[in-house]
Amino acid sequence: MQWERGLVTGASAGIGRAMAMQLAAAGVDLVLVARNGDRLEELAEELRAGGSGLEVEVLAADLADPAGLAAVEDRVASDEAPIDLLVNNAGLGYEGPFHAQEADQVSETIGVNVLALVRLTHAALKTMTARGKGQVVLVSSMASLQGLPMTAVYAATKAFITSLGEALHEEHKSTDVTVTTVLPGLTRTEFHERGRWDLGNWPSAGWQSADAVAAEALRAAANSRPEVVTGLHNRLLAVFSSKAPRGIRRSILGWNARRNWR
């Protein structure tokens, strides 16, 4: 991998943790960001113990909190031990009818998935453009491809990310600064338990491991690709989604969501 130092948000668990481990294995120095400092310290110790002189910083911060976000923004823009890879991975989403969600949950979802991602991407692209080199990865979702009843806010935040990533990739085309958007489908992490999703009936073939998603995401970024849908089954679903008339997609998803929530 071509990077010297990567900053990964949401590195304490799931896909972010898997990406941090794969980057470390490839000799990329790291800055690990999430709220749970103990988990980050534990991971940092494990990575440093690899013995290759890897530098791993821990930056415990809540990206939904303005002070936490500002601290991470400062680190992204810093000229000391500069970041040449930003992985915007931290994210969350609650399942359930929109009107029944707590207003704070809605704000938290938009704060982390949208506002923090935009501010960190802005800080990174500003400094990377000045340096003439760098990469930003945006972790979106298959949920970005259509409105999703019962996870409406989450899907809308991800649609924002996919749209932003597509535009920013083109803005930086033909330069050594690139933006890659990653669209995972169902991935085995802590995500669904945190957001109280009920996916008990979902067939196991529809799931990927965090390691598999991380590997596909980093490969796509290393090749400066605009976008990657991870997993063959998700790529097939994405093609279907792009071909099916919007009204039909909406009716199928709406029917399924109402049936499950009755």
Q: Which residues bind ligand NAP (CB under 6 A)?
A: 9-16, 34-36, 39, 62-64, 89-92, 112, 139, 141, 184, 186-187, 189-191, 194
Shortest CB 178 distance to ligand NAP, Å: 19
Tokens representing residue 133 in the block = 């080199």
Shortest CB 12 distance to ligand NAP, Å: 4
For ligand NAP, give the closer residue by CB, 47 or 139: 139
Active site residues: 154
Residue the block writes with tokens 């969501």: 257
Shortest CB 176 distance to ligand NAP, Å: 26
For ligand NAP, give the closer residue by CB, 28 or 40: 40
| Helix/strand/coil for 188 | strand
d(CA 66, CA 116): 9
For ligand NAP, give the closer residue by CB, 33 or 128: 33
CA distances from 224 to 85, 103, 107, 117, 154 (A): 12, 38, 32, 19, 26
Spatial contact of 26 and 1, defined as CB atoms under 8 Å apart = yes
For ligand NAP, give the closer residue by CB, 31 or 64: 64
d(CA 89, CA 80): 23
| In the chain, beta strands by DSSP E | 5-9, 29-34, 56-60, 85-88, 134-139, 177-183, 187-188, 208-209, 227-229
**Side chain identity, residue 193:** E
| Helix/strand/coil for 57 | strand
For ligand NAP, give the closer residue by CB, 30 or 112: 112
Tokens representing residue 202 in the block = 């979902």
Shortest CB 106 distance to ligand NAP, Å: 14
d(CA 142, CA 158): 8
Shortest CB 15 distance to ligand NAP, Å: 4
